[in-house]
A and B are shown apart, each in its own frame.
Chain A
Amino acid sequence: MLDTAKETYQTAGEPFLDEPKMRVRNADVFYADKQAIFDVNIDIGKNEVISMIGPSGCGKSTFLRCLNRMNDTIDICRVTGELFLEDQDIYDRSIDVVELRARVGMVFQKPNPFPKSIYENVAYGARIHGLTDTKVELDELIEKSLHRCGLWNEVKDRLEEPATGLSGGQQQRLCIARAIAVNPEVILMDEPCSALDPIATATVEELIHELSENFTICIVTHSMQQAARVSSRTAYFHLGKLIEVNDTSKVFTNPEHQLTEEYITGRIG
C-alpha cells in the first residue's frame, strides 16, 4: 500500500451529481505512512443533507475534516487528490484556511462552547471575520442566528451568562448558531448528537432539517437511524473506502453493495 501503484476504488451507487457544491476526486489521506482514506470520489450537492456512516475507524470523520482542512492541525496528516468548493481547489496554496473555514463551518461531537458568555460565543465568528461594523448589527446577527437555532426564546434573557451553564442540547444548538452566524455555505457536523439525550437529539435533528433550506450539511453519524432521518443522501465508508453513495431511502431499504447491507442490518460494526 506504499507508493507502488495508486489504488483506485469504484464506489457503488450514485456518487456524482450535476452542479455539485463540493467535488472530491481521488482523495487519499495518510497519517504518516498509514493510509486512512483510499481514493474517495464524491459530489456534495447544494443545500442537501448528506450523511456519512460506517463502522468506527472507517475514515468518515477523517474525510469530513478534509472538507474544511481541519486535518491541517495534525502534523502527520497528508491529503492528496482534488477537493473543490464550487470551482476553488481548497487545498490550493492560494487558499487561506481561515477564509475556507468561514465558508465551510464545523460543529463537533462534544458541544464545545467557548468558556465565555452566550453572546460572545455567537459573536466570535463575526468578530474575527469582521462581518459587522456596529454593535447594533452584531446584536441583530446574534439574535438572528439564535432564532434560527430555536434558542432565542430560551436564552434571550441571559445572553451575558456563561454558555457552559446551558444544557447539553442547548450547548450544541449554540455551537450550531455560532457556526451559522458566519453564514457559511457548508456546515460539517461530526457526530453532533452523540453526546446528547434523545430529546435534545430530536431538537438538533429538527434544526438540521430546517437549516438544509439554506445550507449544505454534511453530517457524520454513528446512528444509522439518524442518518435515515435527517439526510437525503447517505455515504457508507468502510476501512477508508467509500463503498456506496445513494439516496438515503435506497440505502436503507435496498442498498446496492453487500458491505452496506451488512453494516446497516447490523452484521458488521
Chain B
Amino acid sequence: MSPPVAPPGWSRWLVPPAALSVHLSIGQAYAWSVFKPPLESALGLSGTQSALPFQLGIVMLGLSAAFGGTLVERNGPRWAMTVALVCFSSGFLLSALGAALEQYWLIVFGYGFVGGIGLGIGYISPVSTLIKWFPDRPGMATGIAIMGFGGGALIASPWSAQMLESFGGDSSGIALAFLVHGLSYAVFMLLGVLLVRVPGSAPQSRGPARPAATGPQVSANQAVRTPQFWCLWIVLCMNVTAGIGILEKAAPMITDFFADTSTPVSVTAAAGFVALLSAANMAGRIGWSSTSDLIGRKNIYRVYLGAGALMYALIALFGDTSKPLFILCALVILSFYGGGFATIPAYLKDLFGTHQVGAIHGRLLTAWSTAGVLGPLIVNWIADRQEEAGRHGASLYGMSFVIMIGLLVVGFVANELVRPVHPRHHIPAPKEAAHVQPQQSESA
C-alpha cells in the first residue's frame, strides 16, 4: 500500500482532525473502568480479572508500537489508520460476542489483544505525518494528536456509562454496548483513514514550502544504538512515573491529606479533583508541547522535570496546610505529565530527523509501559507499608514524594546529557539526497 500523497492545494489543517479522529477513539482505553462493575456482576469476576482486558491492551499498545513502527513508516499513515480501525473495532465486536456468549476469555482476547494492537498502531500512526506537515511547529502538531488520546477517555467515560444505563448491566446489555462502541468507532475513525495524506512535492500544497527531511536523519534501528535514545527513554519514563504517582491515587490522596483538618474533602469533591487533573493533563499536552516550539525541547523538559520536582517538594512540605496549594501543585504536575507525552515526538524529530520518527517513537513508548508499572507500584506499596506502620493522613505519602523527586532529578540529569547525535549514526549522504525528492519516496 503506497502512502496517500496530498494533491496540489491540500491543506495541512486537514491532517490534525484526521489524527484526532484516531486518537479520540483509541483514548477510550482509559475509560475501561466504566465496564468493570457490570462485567464483575454479570460474569462473576473479581476486580483483578475485570482489569485484564485493559492491562493486556496497554501491554499490546507498547509491543505493537515498538515492533510495528517500522511497518507504519514503510506503509504510511493510511495503512496504519486502517489497521488501527480494523483492530480496535474488531476488538469491541469480539468482546460483544464474548459478552453475549458469557465467554470472558473472548473479551480479554478481543479488547486486550486485538484491540491493543489497534491502540499501538493507532497511537503512532499520525506522528510522523504531522511532523512532516508542520516542520515549523512539530510540538503543536503532535500535541493536538496526543491531546486527543487524553480526550478520548473524557468522551468515552460518560458516553459508555449512559449506554450501559440504557441497555442494562447484564451480559446482553454489555454485549450491545460493546457492539455499538465497535461500530461507532469504526465510522468515527474512517474520517482519519480518508483524510490523511503525506505531503507531496507539489508547490501548491498549502503549508510548508518544502516539508522534506532536512538535517541529519537516523534510522530506527540505528537510533536505539545511540545514548540519546536511552537518555530520552529515561526522561520519558521518569516524567510519566512522577505523573502516575499522583494520578494513580488522586482521590484517596486528597481525602487523606485533609482528613484531619476543619475542611475535609468529600468523596464527590475528590471525584471533581480527579476530573480537574484530567483537564490539566489534556491542557498540558497541547499547551506545553506548543510552548516547546518556542523555547526548545531541552528547555521544556528542564521545566517538566525541574519544576515538577519543586512541585512535589511543595506538596510534601506544605501540601497539608493549604488546599489551594495542594491542588495547584498537583495540577501543574499533571500538566507536565501530559506535556511530556506530547513533546517527545518533536524531541525525537530534532535529534533523529523525520525519516523514521514514528518508528523511533514507537520504540520509546516502552518507557511508558515501564512507568505504568513503576509509578503505581511505588505509590501503592509505600502507602500500604506506611499504613501498616500506623501512619495516616499526609504522612502516608511523604516517602513516595521523596522518591518521585529523586526520579525527576534522574530524568533531569538524563535530559542534560542529551547531545546532538554523532554523525556516524546518520544515514549516508547519497540516501539523504534522495529525501529531497517527493515525500512518497521518503515514506516508502
**Co-assembled chains A and B:** no
Which B residues lie at the A interface, using CB under 8 A? Answer: none
Which A residues lie at the B interface, using CB under 8 A? Answer: none
